Structure 1
Amino acid sequence: MKNIFFKCYFVFFTTLSVLGLSSCGTDTETEKTEFDRKELLENIATNLIVPSYQNLNTNTASFAEAIQSFVQNPSITTLENAQNTWKTAYLSFQDANAYNFGPAQGTLGSLTENVGTFPASQTKIENYIAAGDASLSNFDRDARGFLGAEYLLFGKETNENILEKYTDQNRKEYLLAVVQNIKSEVEKVNTAWQNGYTQEFINNTGTDAGGGVSILFNEWNKSFESIKNFKLGLPLGRRAGQTQSDATLVEAYYSEESVTFLKAHFANIERIWYGKSLNGQDGVGFEEYLESVEGGETLVAETKTQLEAVNQVMNSLPNESLQTQIQSNPTPANDLLTEMQKLTRFFKSEMTSLLGITITYDSGDGD
């Protein structure tokens, strides 16, 4: 197994820590026109966050049903249905993982930690199965969640070989426990947004560390940096302390769908910046907020140019899995990482300065 230093957790910088990073922003933004921050929060909450969690909840429930059918009647057909519903559910998770705050922060970790940690640990999963331990009463988040389920459903073998393994009752029970845990975690967050938290978030218009704008901005930035640092940087071997690439550290290693999820994740990062709903309707986002402050229009133009540069490189990635690219032709993926690193300055450093928002998480990512 890999040295623990190289174990990639999807949201490694999860614990908020208001450290001495206030130099990244100022106390108040200099507005040239009055900006209604509540309108920003309302648009993001009602047209992005709530629909994203609703979709995730629906798709996760369908995934759980497919797993139940597979375990009760293991066959190539039920296995393929389980694999397809896994992909649909995890794809919808890409739309929700930037909202890892409020109800998504639990006493045993955040939603993204509990269901989105990668890569999955084959050793831990197999040890729990061998021991008949499906309790999940541990902190081994790399032995559960969407990526744990991915390992159990895809592996690196044929569907026929995967199917043979499900003569083992322990394996069935472990898969059921993992998927039920995902479903339960998602349901809790979705229910909270439906039952009061949406309005609480919308009304919390401050830009201080506990304000809704600050919370949204920080989690949005962390979500973007998780693409750059972990979905790309770590498997490419470009994180501090690494001496070489390691294709096994990609997201979705077993299904080989890393590029699909990376693109969906970044599309949601853009959506929040522009304030666009899931169906593409334009609303109030960080773009409009920036346009209301002195120097904001210039930053908006520069950011759009860099967003286009990122998308151009992303859309030109070879039509093959990310792990294959890293092993045989890593240049396009490295180019994408470089363009994303350029975007960091606009998203984090310059936006904090113009909008007066402080970075409240440990952002010592080597940028």
Structure 2
Amino acid sequence: MMRFKPVVFALLSAFSLVACSGSNNSSTPDPVDGGKDRKAILTHWADNIIIPAYAGFKVKLDAMVEKSNAFAAKPDAGTLAAFREAWAEAYIEWQKVELFDVGPASRRSIRSFINIYPANVSGIGKNIADPSESMETTSSYDRQGFPALDYLINGTGSSDTEIVAYFTEPAQGAQRLNYIKRITDHMQQLVNNVTADWAGAYREDFVTKTGTDIGSPMGELVNGYVLHYERYIRSGKFGIPSGAMLNGVVAADKVEAFYKKDLSKALAQAAHQAAVDFFNGKNVKTGAEGPSFKTYLDALQAKDATSGKALSEIINTQLAAGKAKIDGLQPNLYQQILDNNQAVKEVFNELQKAVRMLKVDMTSAMSITITYTDNDGD
């Protein structure tokens, strides 16, 4: 999503356990009764959600790379259309793993390399002209990944004929095709490394270090999950383009998939549904719900302070309200903002209600400290 400078604040829950950031064990015993068995929760997350979700994304990514290679070998309208379709499918699948900003993905900054938008068109041009430009620097984030491919295969011409001509132009066509390969190779490398880490030692660390303190797998994942919902779904997909996060300044050109605008809603739907499914512990392989934020909150008997209802029920109700607002938008979020921006702002408002519940109520009940900063003052 678009990068912005947060106003630094620290939200420390009244029930949080503060520990040094390198700690792996909670200062309290790991409860193992019923739904409070954190090892069972972490094991379910690893084996039935995170690892298979990455496997599913890798299948789509590898298929996209195959189609990109076919396009490079023979740039024409047919191979372009096949590449574009595979890109869209992989982009949607990415939304289902982007929320797992923990361990290998966090250390490798995979989200920053794969989905920072809007794409930096002038930077992409610079990288095309100079193949020695690094793909590993922070300044390269918005020159690669899905948004850069979006520009290259959807935005370099007003028609498929013009886009094909862009890649077959005698002077620079080969360099442009080579840059696509640099992007896709880097994406594959990142994903292969993350999946290899999960298949190796990290999975054991994840399921056995069961504390909730700062630096624990659960603490890190909860922070990553809430940050993703707040910054990358609420703000990135709706708040910034609609102007709700920019003091009313509308920035429709900052929608995700700007050059393939009719994909923008589908990406947002996939991301939000992934967040809902993870909250409820939905098994990627079977679709059944398992150990999760929901079951843990229920085992802790966490209640909503106002209604007295189960906190998990209140959160799920609010998540459903946000989903309904997203579903009511046009497929093209850019056009939606131009036609009826209020509808997009209403999505932002519904998601903001869920942010407060996740960031304050849920983490307080779980005794987990929010360690990241953002700019909305929640």
- Shared fold, TM over 0.5: yes
Deviation at 1:134, TM superposition (A): 6.0
Task: From 295, 319, 324, give the equivalent of 2:302.
Answer: 295
Deviation at 1:230, TM superposition (A): 1.1
Counterparts of 1:96-107 in structure 2, within 5 Å, are 96-106=97-107
* Range with bigger deviation, 275-284 or 39-48: 275-284
1:363 is matched with which residue?
A: 374
Deviation at 1:301, TM superposition (A): 2.1
Distance change in 2, residues 1:105/1:30 (3 Å): closer
Deviation at 1:204, TM superposition (A): 1.4
**Structure 1 portions without partners, runs of 5+:** 1-6
2:290 is matched with which residue?
A: 283
2:60 is matched with which residue?
A: 59
- Determine the C-alpha separation between the residues in 2 that align with 1:30 and 1:96: 27
- Determine the C-alpha separation between the residues in 1 that align with 2:29 and 2:255: 39
The reply on whether 1:350 has 2:361 as its aligned counterpart is yes
Deviation at 1:89, TM superposition (A): 1.2
Question: 1:287 touches 1:300 (CA, 8 Å); kept in 2?
Answer: yes
Distance change in 2, residues 1:94/1:38 (3 Å): same
Question: 1:24 touches 1:358 (CA, 8 Å); kept in 2?
Answer: no
Counterparts of 1:172-211 in structure 2, within 5 Å, are 172-211=177-216
- Determine the C-alpha separation between the residues in 2 that align with 1:33 and 1:328: 53
Question: 1:30 touches 1:293 (CA, 8 Å); kept in 2?
Answer: no
Distance change in 2, residues 1:364/1:331 (3 Å): closer
Give the percent of matched residue pairs that are identical in Structure 1 and Structure 2: 28
2:12 is matched with which residue?
A: 22
2:323 is matched with which residue?
A: 311
The reply on whether 1:41 has 2:42 as its aligned counterpart is yes
Distance change in 2, residues 1:24/1:129 (3 Å): farther
Counterparts of 1:50-89 in structure 2, within 5 Å, are 50-89=51-90
Count of residue pairs the alignment pairs up: 352
1:335 is matched with which residue?
A: 346
Distance change in 2, residues 1:255/1:158 (3 Å): same
- Determine the C-alpha separation between the residues in 1 that align with 2:90 and 2:268: 15
Distance change in 2, residues 1:254/1:12 (3 Å): farther
Question: 1:31 touches 1:293 (CA, 8 Å); kept in 2?
Answer: no
Counterparts of 1:253-268 in structure 2, within 5 Å, are 253-256=258-261, 257-268=263-274
Matched residue type, 2:283: S
The reply on whether 1:171 has 2:176 as its aligned counterpart is yes
Distance change in 2, residues 1:361/1:300 (3 Å): same
2:21 is matched with which residue?
A: none
Deviation at 1:20, TM superposition (A): 4.6
2:251 is matched with which residue?
A: 246
TM-score by length of 2: 0.87
Q: Secondary structure at the match of 2:95?
A: helix
Deviation at 1:62, TM superposition (A): 1.4
Matched residue type, 1:340: L
Counterparts of 1:1-16 in structure 2, within 5 Å, are 8-9=2-3
Question: 2:241 touches 2:251 (CA, 8 Å); kept in 1?
Answer: yes
Deviation at 1:304, TM superposition (A): 2.1
- Determine the C-alpha separation between the residues in 1 that align with 2:136 and 2:366: 43
- Residues 199-244 of structure 1: CA deviation (Å, up to 9, x unaligned): 210111110011121111111101111100111111111115x441
Deviation at 1:129, TM superposition (A): 2.1
- Residues 84-124 of structure 1: CA deviation (Å, up to 9, x unaligned): 11111111111111112211134xx5000111111101111
2:111 is matched with which residue?
A: 112
- Determine the C-alpha separation between the residues in 1 that align with 2:227 and 2:372: 8
Distance change in 2, residues 1:143/1:24 (3 Å): farther
1:4 is matched with which residue?
A: none
Matched residue type, 1:316: G
Question: 2:99 touches 2:275 (CA, 8 Å); kept in 1?
Answer: yes
- Determine the C-alpha separation between the residues in 2 that align with 1:24 and 1:128: 49
- Determine the C-alpha separation between the residues in 2 that align with 1:32 and 1:54: 30
Question: 2:13 touches 2:368 (CA, 8 Å); kept in 1?
Answer: no
Matched residue type, 1:124: G
* Range with bigger deviation, 40-49 or 153-162: 153-162
- Determine the C-alpha separation between the residues in 2 that align with 1:206 and 1:133: 44
- Determine the C-alpha separation between the residues in 2 that align with 1:356 and 1:340: 23
Q: Secondary structure at the match of 1:96?
A: coil
2:306 is matched with which residue?
A: none
Question: 1:29 touches 1:354 (CA, 8 Å); kept in 2?
Answer: no
Q: Secondary structure at the match of 1:329?
A: helix
Question: 1:39 touches 1:284 (CA, 8 Å); kept in 2?
Answer: yes
Question: 1:314 touches 1:336 (CA, 8 Å); kept in 2?
Answer: yes
